[in-house]
Amino acid sequence: MAKYVLALDQGTTSSRAILFDHDGTIVGTAQHEFKQIFPTGKNGWVEHDAFEILTSQMSAAVEVMGKTGTRPRDVAALGITNQRETVVVWDRETGKPIYNAIVWQDRRTADVCARLVSEGAEETVRAKTGLRLDPYFSGTKVAWILDNVDGARAKADAGKLAFGTVDSWLVWNLTSGARHVTDRTNASRTLLYNIVEDKWDDDLLTLLNVPRSIMPDVVWSSEKLGMVTTTLGLGEIEIAGIAGDQQSALFGQLCVEPGSAKNTYGTGCFLLQHIGYDFKISDQRLLTTLACSVDRKLEYALEGSVFIGGAVVQWLRDQMKFFAKSSDVEAMAATVKNSGGVVFIPAFTGLGAPHWDPYASGTIIGLQRGTERGHIARAAVESIALQVADVQRAMNNDTPVPLKTLRVDGGAASNDMLMQFQADILGVRVERPAVVETTAMGAAYLAGIATGFWSGVEEIRKHQGIGKAFEPKADRAEMDLLIARWQEAVSRSLGWNAPR
């Protein structure tokens, strides 16, 4: 009898593979980072090598199986969770990408989105997709590839190309090209999927000039899709779960009732709140997106996306050489009592919710002669929580009941200083689970439920517990002053990189 579920967690900077047992305990994990590509002279462009994504993910999967002595027959199912909105277009015959993967952070289509907004298209887009016209999403990236790679559009029109987000790319390769699919949560991030009528939308495909011939089939997040057919040591494991990383984390936290919410602290930060079975357009410039469903019903969530979360710490590590390991940021920030008046707006790729300014610029303000690296490090850590607070205030204005508890996960959630500051700035309880790998756990749960490894949500709930809770304890007036200074600094960063 199978003992484990394997989750492939394909992220923005690394690919991980995690084995979970029936109690939801991590049995083994493997992780491989891959290169971030910033084309020279192209401000705001971010790319990945799609084959490097694939090889890093497969290497991690094989490694975790080998380290734990796990055989394919020991694995009940495989679930995939992935960086969303990142685009791969490949040749159906050769299986080779025709261009690098364009990453969700990429801003190259900002001018296209601005033009479509000026033409009045955004209201229609929001009514069908719950999204805004922003280069963050997949649709304009696909069109850019078709328009800028020689012969691509002619090949697409002839049915010779395939488009997919990273989940599609992985499943295509795992099944030797037999399945070209995506799930509803990833489809809902493309600007091309009607989340009210549950279909690829012809009006949207026409608007963005994307041919239907390249689109994947859409499946449920918890559904048997077929066996792995590669010969990489994974054998014939059933692929049975797919979810975009943030919806996967929402499910992994078991935020399945309206009003429950989580925030994931990864490369970016993503706050999602389940709102039930009825589609609602945000009045506060948030997104409405599809949540995972094991009942095969459309379920919705409000989302606020912060583009640079934990990546601000990577920037201090890699570009500024402040420290050798990301985990060292907490110790450096602790060398000072506060940020010393320094405010750090990490708008390296513009600002997401609720500002939605692709031309905002990274800004450090409040520098003095006495400013130390510790002040900048602390301001960077605080910037993550302050961006989340911006999103939460907007979400409270969109929903009838203000948030009382925030569940947290992701790499930066292990930073106690950040979590306490988050509780203080929000004024609500922050709960960190015992296992913070809830993105991978969500994919495992979805695959395990589809194959009967778990009977459903209620069985899974028995295994979950709170690892640590953070209660707000700072002076409220002091926090309000910090928020006011933050908002003033944000206003100064807006539009800085706009074309002149």
Sheet holding 161-165, edge to edge: 47-48, 101-102, 87-91, 161-165
- Beta strand pairing status for 75-82 and 4-10? parallel
Helix or strand or coil: residue 217? strand
Q: Distance between CA 188 and CA 412 in Å, rounded? A: 26
Task: Domain count for the chain, please give it.
Answer: 1
For 314, counting Cβ atoms within 10 Å of its Cβ (0-12 exposed, 13-18 middle, 19+ buried), the class is middle
Q: Is the pLDDT of residue 214 over 80?
A: yes
Show binding-site residues for sn-glycerol 3-phosphate: 12, 84-85, 136, 245
Q: Is the dihedral of CA 375, 43, 391, 294 positive or negative?
A: negative
Q: Annotated binding residues for glycerol, as ranges? A: 84-85, 136, 245-246
* Residue-wise pLDDT tens digits, 177-200: 999 999 999 999 999 999 999 999
How far is the C-alpha of 83 from the C-alpha of 439, rounded, in Å? 11
CA angle, 139 then 391 then 101, to 5°: 30
Domain containing 183 — which CATH number?
Answer: 3.30.420.40
Q: Where does 284-340 have alpha helices with state H? A: 311-318, 329-333
Cα gap 311→309, rounded to integer Å: 5
Q: Is 25 helix (H, G, I), strand (E, B) or coil?
A: coil
Locate 492 and state its tokens.
């100064």
Asked if the model's pLDDT at residue 318 lies above 80, the reply is yes
- Pick from 393, 404, 400, 402: which is nearest to 479 by CA? 393
pLDDT bracket for residue 453 (50, 70, 90): very high
- Mean pLDDT of the residues in the chain: 93
For the annotated binding site, the residues are 12-14, 16, 84-85, 136, 245-246, 267, 310, 314, 411, 415
Helix H or strand E encompassing 301? strand 299-306
pLDDT at 498: 87
With respect to residue 177, please indicate whether it lies within any of the assigned structural domains. Answer: yes
Residue 96 has, within 13 A of its CA and on its CB side, a CA count of 3
Express each pLDDT in 216-256 by its tens digit: 999 999 999 999 987 677 778 999 999 999 999 999 999 99
Whether 482 has a pLDDT exceeding 80, the answer reads: yes
Position 75 in a domain? yes
Q: Look at residue 179 and tell me if it is in a domain.
A: yes
Does 7 have pLDDT greater than 90? yes
Other Cβ atoms less than 10 A from the Cβ of 26: the count is 16
Q: Is residue 106 assigned to a domain?
A: yes
Q: Is residue 82 domain-resident?
A: yes
Strand stretches in 62-140, DSSP E? 75-82, 87-91, 101-102
Q: Please, which residues have CB within 8 angstroms of residue 260's CB and are 6 or more apart in sequence?
A: 253, 254, 273, 274, 407
Instruction: Output the pLDDT for position 258.
Output: 86
The H-or-E segment that residue 174 falls in is helix 166-174
Distances (CA, A) of 497 to 144, 150, 358: 21, 30, 8
Residues annotated as binding site for ADP?
12, 16, 267, 310, 411, 415
Give the per-residue pLDDT at 336: 95
Count of H-run helices and E-run strands, the chain? 16, 23
Percent of the chain with pLDDT over 90: 77
The strand pairing partners of 89, in sequence order, are 163
pLDDT of residue 400: 77
Asked if residue 429 is part of any domain, the answer here is: no
Instruction: Put residue 366 in one of left, alpha, beta given phi > 0 → left and psi -120 to 50 → alpha.
Output: left
Domain limits for position 172: 4-246
485: in domain: no
Tell whether the model's pLDDT for residue 493 goes beyond 90.
Answer: yes
Binding residues for ATP are: 12-14, 267, 310, 314, 411
Residues 78-103: pLDDT tens digits?
999 999 999 999 999 999 999 999 99
Domain assignment present for residue 237? The answer is yes
